[in-house]
Amino acid sequence: MKIGFIGAGNMASAIVEGMIQNGFSQPEDLYLYDISTEKVQAFAKKVGAHVSTDPQEVIQTVDALILAVKPNVIKGVLLEAKEAILQNNPLIVSIAAGTSTETIYEVFETDQPIRIVRVMPNMNAMVGEGAAAVCGNAAATKEDVSLIIDLFNAVGKAWPLEEKYFSIFTAIAGSSPAYAFLFIDSIARAAVKNGLPKDLALEMATQAILGSAETLAHSKENPWTLIDRVSSPGGTTVAGIVELEDNAFISTVIKGIDATIRKDEELGKK
Ligand SMILES: NC(=O)c1ccc[n+]([C@@H]2O[C@H](COP(=O)([O-])OP(=O)(O)OC[C@H]3O[C@@H](n4cnc5c(N)ncnc54)[C@H](OP(=O)(O)O)[C@@H]3O)[C@@H](O)[C@H]2O)c1
């Protein structure tokens, strides 16, 4: 299957590298176009994919077209590509945050069904540990959605998810890496306050959180059981947990996630 990318920045590069490494695609089946010609040429050369200076050429060649440009330029890209897409009918895949399948379909001003799959990836795709939600519009088939889930499984984990839940997914997987970085940095900062150098503290805190996520992912138990296991009676961990909860740790996190969901819904309406 031939797959094309319009936009070959951070996300597209991570996805392309994952697809090749994992064997999902052969480099010669991948077609890249980016407005920054030099950058895309260098990347295509590195991975062995085709590069094109004309997006129409990519659309005419591929079975699936991944739109990996920023949300503020996606409408313009679609308007330019509209005629070629209507003629060649590739599966349209958008990874643009906050851009619904309906918004994409409306650009075509047609009654002709267009198969559109929307994906919300996250930045951890860059290390092969991404989390992605995938949904299709009414015209997209189950096979279309499954294909794109398989593709994103090449750079982490992907789940089918109804589009109405995408704002929630954006908060818990799209934005949450930033919250995890904030948490890790706060732990390291506390270590600095107590006398450790920042670089060392950051490395240690990162490893502790990485291992905790791995432990949880491999455990069949819920987080509170694991918390209880680390909390010895009268010990250090429970003292810390009580202090965090005195300062409303859980409800502060929930409020942060709520604010993210509200913002995504607000931006999606614009
Ligand atoms: N990065 C993330 O963590 C993340 C997470 C979830 C979803 N997403 C979504 O993924 C999409 C891509 O994000 P990204 O981080 O990969 O952005 P990015 O690194 O800026 O990549 C976008 C690429 O598209 C190019 N471009 C701009 N206008 C174009 C046009 N008209 N035709 C072709 N190429 C064009 C850009 O070139 P210039 O740099 O020269 O403008 C850039 O190389 C966004 O819609 C974003 O919402 C990203």
pLDDT tens sequence across 90-106: 999 999 998 999 999 99
Q: Locate 262 and state its tokens.
A: 């509200």
The mean pLDDT value for 22-31 works out to: 96
pLDDT at 267: 84
Q: What is the DSSP letter of 63?
A: S
Give bridge partners of residue 4 from the DSSP assignment: 31, 65
pLDDT at 261: 96
pLDDT at 58: 97
pLDDT at 222: 95
Q: Are residues 125 and 244 in the same domain?
A: no
Q: Locate 15 and state its tokens.
A: 């996805």
| Residue at a domain's end among 149, 169, 189 | 169
- Is residue 196 pLDDT above 80, yes or no? yes
Give bridge partners of residue 246 from the DSSP assignment: none
The CATH number of the domain where 75 resides is what?
3.40.50.720
Q: Are residues 84 and 115 in the same domain?
A: yes
Q: What is the DSSP letter of 48?
A: T
Tell me if 71 is assigned to a ligand binding site.
yes
Q: Are residues 213 and 106 in the same domain?
A: no
- 145 close to 160: Cβ distance less than 8 angstroms: yes
Spatial separation of the C-alpha atoms in residues 188 and 183, rounded to whole Å: 9
pLDDT band, very low/low/confident/very high, at 256 (cuts 50, 70, 90): very high
Q: Are residues 77 and 193 in the same domain?
A: no
- In sequence order, what are the residues at sequence separation of 6 or more whose Cβ sits closer than 8 angstroms to the Cβ of residue 214? none
Number of domains in the chain: 2
pLDDT at 126: 87
- Is residue 269 pLDDT above 90, yes or no? no
Q: Are residues 147 and 202 in the same domain?
A: no
The mean pLDDT value for 152-171 works out to: 96
Average pLDDT, the chain: 96
Spatial separation of the C-alpha atoms in residues 1 and 3, rounded to whole Å: 6
Q: Are residues 139 and 243 in the same domain?
A: no
- 55 close to 67: Cβ distance less than 8 angstroms: no
Q: Tell me the per-residue pLDDT of 116-159, one tens digit each, with 9 for 90 and over.
A: 999 999 999 989 999 999 999 999 999 999 999 999 999 999 99
| Residue at a domain's end among 141, 169, 197 | 169
| Residue at a domain's end among 169, 187, 216 | 169
- Supply the range of the domain harboring residue 193: 174-269
Please list every protein residue whose CB sits less than 6 Å from any atom of ligand 1: 6-12, 33-36, 68-71, 73, 77, 95-97, 121-123, 174
Q: Are residues 76 and 190 in the same domain?
A: no
The mean pLDDT value for 6-18 works out to: 95
Probe ligand 1: pick from 13, 16, 17, 35, max atoms within 8 Å of CB? 35
pLDDT at 268: 78
Probe ligand 1: pick from 67, 70, 78, 155, max atoms within 8 Å of CB? 70
Spatial separation of the C-alpha atoms in residues 231 and 219, rounded to whole Å: 17
Q: Are residues 146 and 179 in the same domain?
A: no
Q: Tell me the per-residue pLDDT of 46-91, one tens digit each, with 9 for 90 and over.
A: 999 999 999 999 999 999 999 999 999 999 999 999 999 999 999 9
Spatial separation of the C-alpha atoms in residues 2 and 9, rounded to whole Å: 19
